[in-house]
């Protein structure tokens, strides 16, 4: 269900829909955790794709620039990506020990938007907001 409108958007942005690109989207669509390029590469290998890192990086950057993927950077400085709906984004909890990351509830964004509205009413211009919660997951904390 997610694929068709995403592929349509890719075409609209003059990006060629290749088997590789379809597999990338398919992989992200099935992931609940954000992936690093390296993790993506490993998952692609299972589907018999072995693109070099630069190619893969370029594809992912493009998908991120047209709003299909969201980029997140946690304190280990690695870029991670996950799929988002158009015009949407979310925030994560990130475990510093095992790297587990999960989506935080959407109500968090709504609260931030309220603050943004207040700032806008004071004629401030909002460009973006970012917030990631880091710590230890239940498993690492026990
Ligand atoms: Zn995510
Ligand atoms: Zn953990
Ligand atoms: Zn937000």
How far, in Å, is the centroid of ligand 2 from the Cα of 100?
Answer: 5
The long-range contacts involving 89-92, CB below 8 angstroms and separated by at least 24 positions, are: 91/130, 91/131, 91/132, 91/133, 92/34, 92/132, 92/133
* Domains within the chain, CATH numbers bracketed: 1-86 (1.10.10.10), 90-142 (3.30.1490.190)
| Closest ligand to residue 102's CA | 1
Average pLDDT in the 45-60 region? 93
Span 6-42, pLDDT tens digits: 888 888 888 888 899 999 999 999 988 899 999 999 9
How far, in Å, is the centroid of ligand 2 from the Cα of 33?
Answer: 13
How far, in Å, is the centroid of ligand 3 from the Cα of 117?
Answer: 13
pLDDT of 116 over the 80 cut: yes
How far, in Å, is the centroid of ligand 3 from the Cα of 110?
Answer: 7
| Closest ligand to residue 131's CA | 3
Whole-structure pTM value: 0.82
Please state, rounded to an integer, the average pLDDT across all residues of the chain.
Answer: 90
Separation CA 50–CA 43 (nearest Å): 10
Name the pLDDT band for 1 (thresholds 50, 70, 90).
very low
How far, in Å, is the centroid of ligand 2 from the Cα of 101?
Answer: 8
pLDDT of 2 over the 60 cut: no
């Amino acid at each position: 269900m997610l694929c068709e409108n995403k592929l349509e958007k890719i075409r609209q942005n003059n990006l060629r829909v290749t088997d590789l690109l379809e597999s990338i989207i398919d992989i992200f669509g099935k992931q609940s955790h954000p992936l690093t390029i390296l993790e993506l590469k490993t998952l692609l290998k299972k589907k018999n794709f072995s693109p070099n890192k630069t190619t893969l990086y370029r594809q992912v950057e493009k998908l991120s620039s047209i709003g299909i993927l969201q980029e997140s950077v946690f304190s280990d400085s690695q870029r991670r990506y996950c799929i988002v709906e158009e015009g949407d984004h979310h925030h994560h909890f990130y475990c510093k020990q095992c790297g587990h990351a999960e989506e935080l509830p959407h109500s968090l964004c709504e609260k931030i938007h309220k603050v943004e509205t207040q700032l806008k009413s004071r004629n401030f211009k909002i460009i973006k907001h970012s917030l990631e919660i880091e710590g230890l997951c239940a498993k690492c904390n026990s």
